[in-house]
Amino acid sequence: MLLFQDLVQDPAVDAVVSEEKTLSVIDLIVDGGTGSILIISVLFVMLFVALYIYFERIFAIKAASKIDSNFMNQIRDHVSNGKLEAAKLLCAQTDSPVARLTEKGISRIGKPLDDINKAIENAGTLEVYKLEKNISVLATVAGAAPMIGFLGTVIGMILAFHQMASNGGQAEMGSLASGIYTAMTTTVAGLIVGIIAYIGYNHLVNRTDKVVHKMEANAVEFLDLLNEPL
């Protein structure tokens, strides 16, 4: 009974158990060899790019969605009173896609309504392009990252089985299993990067759609203003 208690309380035994239960991510990456390190490095760069684009776009879209709720009322008053220059100045002082579309329409006042509508549509296409800048890169990362991770796993498994074949099928299971689970870390890394990029992409698309909807609503309101009898 005393010997068993001494064994349980032995610090050396506790250290061994602790060491066996502790497995750091860095060890998994380094133990995977050059291929694993290279693929994880590529995935890390892709994650950095995805996060940079996401935060850069989210701030840009947030800024584009801000507009004074009284903006169109002021435009209505200026246009109704024939103060087109004041309306243009108000649009120039308001840095938003809605203001730029409205300014484009005001500059076409006096021309046929179809021409005004076409000018607003063309300006809207450019504004949407600005909002969607680099968002497609997130979609690419979301699709490519898991595939790169799977590629690392397949390469690792090929190397593990090649080692077993080179030893005449007598490779130790511990060595084989170690190679396989280390190689699968690339799959985990690829999935993590892909999921983050996918969520970021869909969030940006949703936010962009809201801004586009606001642009369309204000364009329709401006065209209705021009159709109102003086």
139: number of Cβ within 10 Å: 16
Question: How many angstroms separate the CA atoms of 157 and 184, rounded?
Answer: 9
- In angstroms, the first-to-last Cα distance of the chain is 103
Span 62-75, pLDDT tens digits: 888 887 778 888 88
Q: Please work out, in degrees rounded to the nearest 5, the angle formed at the alpha carbon of residue 227 by the alpha carbons of 106 and 129.
A: 45
Q: What is the pLDDT confidence band of residue 3, given thresholds at 50, 70 and 90?
A: very low
Residues contacting 218, CB < 8 A, separation 6+:
72, 98, 101, 102
Selected residue with higher pLDDT from 181 and 119? 119
> Which among 139, 134, 137, 128 is positioned nearest to 64, based on CA atoms?
128
Confirm whether pTM is higher than 0.85. no
Q: Does residue 14 have a pLDDT over 70?
A: no
Q: Count Cβ atoms within 10 A of the Cβ of residue 23 and give its class: 0-12 exposed, 13-18 middle, 19 or more buried.
A: exposed
Span 132-165, pLDDT tens digits: 888 999 999 999 999 998 888 787 777 767 766 7
Specify whether the CB–CB gap between 173 and 121 falls below 8 A.
no
